[in-house]
Amino acid sequence: MNLLVSMRYLVALDEHKHFARAAQSCFVTQPALSNAIRALEEEFGGPIVKRGRTFVGFTPEGDRLLDSARRMLREELLLRQDLSSVSGQPQGRLAIGVVPSAEPVAARFAAMLQTRHPGITPVVRSMSSPEIEAGLEQLTLDLGLGFIERVRPVAGALQTHLQYTEHYFLVRRAAQAPEQEGQGMRFGAPMSWQEAATLPLCLQTPEMHNRSIVDGAFAQAGVKVTPMLETNSLLTLALSALGGVVCCVMPGALVGAVRAYRELEAHPLTGPEVKTPIGFMVQTAERHSRPLEAALTLAKDAAWLRHAAAHTGLLHA
């Protein structure tokens, strides 16, 4: 029995919750995967998988073994990356989970990282905050970008690195587009959350953390809103104001991504002024992979932080 291969099958089974799909992801037959799992059970002297007509879950012993499997595979990955990297030239994949509202920043970061280190392959996935936190804990993610205010210190499990402070805008179709081509979005006078509540709104869906921040701001302003349109798609949120009468409440990072649209105008929202810290999250560890070390170095780089601030936060025309 190849222990590392069997451990890889175990992690795949946890990811897919289905024997056939797990086998397919590992490019083996289902009997081969099932036999490897049974061999693990024989090796460790007890059942590790709860079996029914379909996959049910893991036994307590299976959960312990799964945790060890993730760490063994992580160490194998670190070793492979160390051996394949030469001094100053890290090699390997870097898994980054990002909350939807920070996707434009993650895209810029990943592109800049890959330009500096061509041997790194960033893999950027749009995920919810709980999914990012679980991915970091389970070692399926190297780095997370999201709401660092959610992170609670649990025995130093996660480190955070502030990247920018987010502000919020009311974005709507401009009454009159700029006369000059190439001028882009107009930034208007500040608007209160109370005034924004009187407009037909498109907001993110309730399960998204960004929506809870927006709802909290409206509550502080003493108003409650019923949006005309809800979406979990950033593209829909960003473009809905172009196609109709709805207005959108958007974070600066997303406003920065659509500021080339001359048909739109953005108003900073005040009363209250909401400021949300956005940053990278990473598992506390004795050592990181070389791609992750390179990413953390860039995350602290003054030039990168200026670049991130210029495309987020309290934007100006």
Please name each of the domains of the chain with its CATH number: 3-80 (1.10.10.10), 91-165+277-310 (3.40.190.10), 168-274 (3.40.190.290)
- Residue 259: predicted pLDDT: 84
d(CA 138, CA 2): 22
Range with the lowest mean pLDDT among 33-47, 106-120, 148-162? 148-162
pLDDT reported for residue 156: 59
pLDDT at residue 285 above 80?
A: no
* Strand pairing class (191-192; 276-283): unpaired
User: 228 pLDDT exceeds 50?
Assistant: yes
Interatomic CA distance for residues 52 and 74, integer angstroms: 30
* pLDDT of 181 higher than 70: no
Of 281, 299, 288, nearest in space to 90 by CA: 288
pLDDT of 317 over the 60 cut: no
Average pLDDT over residues 56-80: 82
State the pLDDT at residue 139: 84
Convert the pLDDT of each residue in 251-270 to its tens digit. Answer: 999 998 888 888 899 999 99
Mean pLDDT of the chain: 87
pTM above 0.85, yes or no: no
**197: part of which helix (H) or strand (E)?**
none
Name residue, tokens 């950027």. 124
The pLDDT tens digits for 69-94 are 888 887 777 777 777 666 668 888 89
Of the chain, the percentage scoring pLDDT greater than 90 comes to 43
Q: Is 129 helix (H, G, I), strand (E, B) or coil?
A: helix
How does residue 280 score in pLDDT terms, banded at 50, 70 and 90? very high
